[in-house]
Each structure stands twice: as C-alpha cells, then as structure tokens.
Structure 1
Amino acid sequence: MCNPVEGCFSVLKAKIKACLAVDREEICDRRRNFHRDEDGNLLTLFESQMRFLEHAARLSMRCMTPTLVLQMELHCRDAVMSAKNFVNMRYET
C-alpha cells in the first residue's frame, strides 16, 4: 500500500462495520422497527438505514487520529523504500 489515506479509511471502515454489527438486529427488524424523524414522520427503509450508518460513522471518526495518520505514512514510506530497493515483501501473521 503506497497511499496512507487508504490505510486510514480501512481502519475507519472496520470501526463502522463493528458499530453496525452491534445494531444489526435493530437495523434488520422490519416488523417492530418503524423509525420516525424529529417531526414524527415515518422514515423510509433507506432513510432509516442511513441514520444507522451516519450514527456509526460519527462514533467511528474518533479513530482518525494524528497518530494513526503518522503510522500509515510511515508504513507507506517503508513499503515504497522497500520496493525502490527491490526488497521482497514479507507477509507476517
């Protein structure tokens, strides 16, 4: 990976997915789950799901820290330097 933004968004996406997993039953329950907006109007299925996604995104934004960005920049720097020097990539688990 040569783009630190990709790494940061991967972390953000993982956090959002974790938040959505917690609310999965409520998101998927169509029978008892009629969400309403601030004025009491019924939300469409799409609007309701978008509210869950927006809430998860707001909660997950806390993971985007200067430390994370720096870590991703250093990771990309190391990957680019290794490629420049023809060093074989090592995959560690």
Structure 2
Amino acid sequence: MNFDEFTGQVQHRLELQDTGHAVRAIRATLMVLGERIPEGNAEDFAANLPLEIKWYMTGAVQTHSQRFDWQEFVSRVSEIEGTGVDRVEAAFHA
C-alpha cells in the first residue's frame, strides 16, 4: 500500500475532513507506539508501512521500550496531535 492509499484509508475510517488531519493522527499514533515497543519490533512493524510514514515509528522516536499504560498512550497521542484533539478523540484515532 502506498502513502496515498494508507492516508486515504485512515481518513475514511476516522471520518476526518482532510489528509492533513489523517497524517497528524497517523504521526501521533505511530510515534507513541514507537516509544512503547522495543526498537527491533518497531523496525519490523514499520517495514510494512509506506516509506513516508515509516519514519514516524522509527526515526522520530528518541527512546523505545518505555513502559506506560493506555491512559498515558492516549495522553501522548492527544498532545502530539495538538490543539483541538481531546483524549476521547485521540483514543478513537489511536
């Protein structure tokens, strides 16, 4: 699947208004997931992602294998997505 197909699927499934919102949701979710799982697992998982998105899970992450729960995961996604995305919406995006 290429970048346009991937972002289009996310935009459609989350009923987002444009590709920019889809990319923000993807970026936030993958960055936090990349922080949560071990580096090798992140590399393996990201191998199946479009090149433009793969970096969010591997290259953009400073520290892998952090231990945190779902609530912290959602908080981090919400924070990365930015203004206008509350925890409930961030949970849906994730």
Q: Say which structure, 1 or 2, has more relative contact order (CA 8 Å, 6+ apart).
A: 1
Q: Work out which of the two has the higher radius of gyration on C-alpha atoms and give 1 or 2.
A: 1
Q: TM-score scaled by structure 1? A: 0.30
Q: TM-score scaled by structure 2? A: 0.30
